[in-house]
A and B are shown apart, each in its own frame.
Chain A
């Protein structure tokens, strides 16, 4: 029996081997590319082992004044935008609690569908919507003109004032309804008996919310907040890439976008860009473990 089992075990492994190979090639092998941050690699010239430069690029990142300034600016944008999002991370919970208070079931259903649609369209489409509504001849400008509020159209897309807030608003437009779904489900899982008991005791609606709903949702909120904190450096580049233009670059460039922009600059600086993204990965992994450690310490539960 033991031998047959073993043979069966190997056979099963062989069946999944092609998929393991795909994971190895597309997820693990690229890690090997981190060595480029220790070499002077300038594609399309072939890679040469003789071009080893040690920590030159890391030193450049931390010592060369123009790189330091640029990196500080990028970090400022990254933390500003992640920070605003973090400050408002209670919004989905608020949205769900308020939604739960709606009495009219068809309206509730309509709101849920309408509010979650933007989550499923791409950032390119979000940008297109922004462009077509906020451009010179877009709906916003024509309404403002009709009401006599402005004489000449404002080109919102080129305007870089309050950019962090605007990026947060687009992010919220896209994500809020969907992020609330998790809380909606959590609310429907709360024991009805608690509300009934509270009502018998004469609790008002807001008292029920304050002492039953919110405390029941806090664990979910806590986990999501920890995940957000550990993802502070990973804003992704797509949103900022599509909204980026030469008027707003100073405020829109976040780490992920900066890494991309470095690699497409002329001449491309692959090595520096790799060094930076490697530092970013290491720091965010450390943040993730710290958040997880905090979760285990406080709640005795892992978030991973």
Chain B
């Protein structure tokens, strides 16, 4: 059994890691070789021109800006709102608290479907609008459950002592709840950031203006299109890069953009793995 386990997990891990390694070594290899599929295990003819040229792809800098903005803004807002609502829903005094809590949480279990949702967004003028990425994601029932559970575990005396001192609801929130909830909020932040970065469907449904396209979306378009982006990039490239081995091909552009889109996740994930695991654990207990 030991041998079987080691072989099984070696193969599975290889299958999970190798594809990214393969694409990466191809992006730094001779572009003529990568186009022919001649680079499999080790990079050949190493150069980094692809990553310099990637910035010449029309629209990519803007898409990176949109992706980063929605990730940062969306994450900050959902963390604050989840912490605040999780805290407020532990209040003993709020008017009809139980009802409003259920009103929010039950939305996890249904959705109206993409067309009613799209038409709502259209009526709110949120199509072709950056806020279309942000506003629907501010309140997240699942994260609220997580923070509420966490705040409930903070000792009540701590909160009540502050209230006796005359601190209002908001001051207790900012000065006590927020700092104490850091562990759960980091978990939520990391989940939300990955979600925002990976989001694809909302661009597909809501946005037709190129200036609002995200990296995920333009990557998808590059994979679909047969048009020759490489020609545009090569034309605008400096003379040194016009060397055959470093001239862009369709494959080299697709691979380079893939790595650029995947890199933030690949770099961040191993360091934050424990936050992810913690998130799913708390969710499993209280979901």
Residue positions of A touching B, CB distance < 8 A: 5-6, 8-13, 15-16, 19-20, 22-23, 25-34, 36, 43, 98-99, 101-103, 107, 110-118, 120-125, 127-129, 131-133, 136-139, 141-143, 173, 176-178, 181-182, 185, 205-206, 237-238, 241-242, 259-260, 263, 270, 273-274, 277-278, 280-281, 285, 288, 304
Contacts and interface: CB of A to CB of B under 8 A. Distances in A.
B17 A117 contact: yes
A27 B111 contact: yes
Interface stretch (B31-39, B52-60, B150-158, B229-237): B31-39
Contacts, number: 234
8 closest pairs, A vs B, by CB?
A33-B116, A277-B113, A30-B112, A137-B37, A122-B198, A27-B107, A114-B13, A142-B37
B28 interface: no
B276 interface: yes
25 contacts: A12-B88, A13-B96, A15-B88, A16-B100, A19-B104, A19-B138, A23-B139, A26-B135, A30-B113, A31-B116, A33-B115, A98-B5, A98-B8, A99-B5, A113-B269, A116-B273, A121-B265, A122-B198, A124-B217, A124-B220, A173-B15, A238-B201, A241-B201, A242-B200, A259-B114
How would you classify the secondary structure of chain A's contact residues: helix, strand, loop or mixed? helix
A137 B116 contact: no
| Residue of B116, B120, B281 with most partner-chain A CB within 10 A | B116
Nearest to B116: A33
Contact of A12 (B2, B37, B93, B223): B93
Contact of A138 (B6, B8, B37): B37
Nearest to B277: A181
Contacts of B255: 132
Contacts of A128: 219, 223, 254, 258, 261
Interface of B: 1-2, 4-6, 8-9, 12-13, 15-17, 19-20, 22-23, 26, 35-38, 40, 81, 84-85, 88, 91, 93-96, 100, 103-104, 107, 109-120, 124, 135-136, 138-139, 169-170, 194, 197-201, 204, 216-217, 219-220, 223, 251, 254-255, 258, 261-262, 265-266, 269-270, 273, 276-277, 280-281, 284
Contact of A127 (B91, B139, B220, B277): B220
Nearest to B126: A26
A120 B107 contact: no
A22 B110 CA distance: 16
A125 B261 contact: yes
Contact of B104 (A20, A137, A237, A270): A20
B216 A124 contact: yes
Given A128-B258, A182-B280, A205-B1, A142 B22 contact: no
B269 A117 contact: yes
A13 B120 contact: no
A280 B110 CA distance: 11
A241 B205 CA distance: 12
B113 A177 contact: no
A19 B139 contact: yes
Given A16-B100, A117-B17, A263-B114, A25 B12 contact: no
B115 A36 contact: yes
Nearest to B19: A129
A155 to B, nearest CB: 13
Given A13-B96, A30-B120, A36-B115, 12 more contacts: A12-B169, A13-B95, A30-B112, A33-B117, A117-B16, A117-B266, A120-B269, A124-B220, A128-B258, A138-B37, A142-B38, A182-B284
A117 B40 CA distance: 21
Given A34-B112, A34-B116, A122-B216, A115 B37 contact: no
Contact of B85 (A19, A25, A117): A19
A15 B169 contact: yes
